[in-house]
Structure 1
């Protein structure tokens, strides 16, 4: 894998994304951050290049990924807006192929199903609740996972339970089969995703992570 010096960040203006951007900067990476509303972005750093635009625009994704060695995303579904998961996944994978970028780390909910899961009753209930209450969003996110599987990219999809938006940090439990805890801090998500971006310990896998 190519040495990662610069990463393209999607979702960096969101609540989790801000933790991720700060962690990536702390670890010495240069960043290209996609923002729909750059005026609302409060992080100021000479190692950030801001790209204004939308992840659903393929030309914007190409502009974002140019000169990067990895892609990292915390994009979630936007309320009352078009479905985003499968559409932006297509854009990212297509641009990665054009630029010969291999590494992609993204955030997802524990409700995504994979062939390797052995979900507990609690995790299954949470998954079923999502399917029952947000079936269209759930289907779109599951489709995005299928696109990852069909690609030849070195991806890691990080699945998380309830997120606490804090700088608190504690031990993280990681499992390919089931979510072992009920919550995780946004800080620990950022740390895990940043580390996984370079280590590729969970190549083409969807680990659950949680605080214990």
Structure 2
């Protein structure tokens, strides 16, 4: 894909999103980023166009995505809030279809278990505990997955993550389609992997695990 193309980032101020935005700019992409309050931005880059608004509003998403070619969704919520991941993804896909945008890259947690997974015992226990303590989140994440499966016209990729470590260090990234190969990964390496998938076809309509 042409590096002059524009990327729309949802969740660009979070632990992962801000690194994605910076990495994409370094790679030569044009970046637009949605924020709730621009006054709360902890960093500024003149090469990143900031759109202020709420992710729950369709018109805000239309403003963000207009003229873009790729959508990267790293939206996150505090655990105490009612999860809206499925709604955000459904709304994004709706607007992407309206605007004829085909490439979508999103993130989720390693606790998401889908058909075809072959998680080891420890990871199965971890996923079960996560479901026990955060049932609403897991239910919503499974609904989000169903929404993605139903949208084959969009070239989506969902990247499943372990614990995220704040670090600029880079290590070799392990990848798997059936189980989480490690317990952690740096946000710097997540950003690099996400941006590398813009032009890749390996994981279209798939949900790889990545870790160190």
Equivalent residues of 2:176, 2:209 under 8 A apart: yes
Matched with 1:182 is: 183
For 2:55 and 2:171, locate their aligned partners in 1 and report how far apart those are by CA, in whole Å: 32
Would you say 1:132 and 2:132 are equivalent positions? yes
Equivalent residues of 2:82, 2:136 under 8 A apart: no
Q: 1:40: Cα distance to partner? A: 1.7
Q: Aligned residues, how many?
A: 210
Q: 1:201: Cα distance to partner? A: 2.1
Matched with 2:81 is: 81
Q: 1:81: Cα distance to partner? A: 3.1
Correspondence list, 1:27-176, <5 A: 27-152=27-152, 153-176=154-177
Q: TM-score scaled to structure 2, two decimals?
A: 0.95
Equivalent residues of 1:29, 1:47 under 8 A apart: no
Paired residue secondary structure (1:31): strand
Q: TM-score scaled to structure 1, two decimals?
A: 0.95
**Which stretches of structure 1, 4 residues or more, deviate above 6 A after TM superposition?**
none
Q: In the TM superposition, what whole-angstrom CA distance separates every residue of 1:22-80 from its partner, at most 9, and x where no partner exists?
A: 11111111111000021121333332111111111111111111000000011122344
For 1:82 and 1:58, locate their aligned partners in 2 and report how far apart those are by CA, in whole Å: 19
The unaligned stretches of length 5 or more in structure 2 are none
Equivalent residues of 1:177, 1:207 under 8 A apart: yes
Q: 1:112: Cα distance to partner? A: 1.0
The unaligned stretches of length 5 or more in structure 1 are none
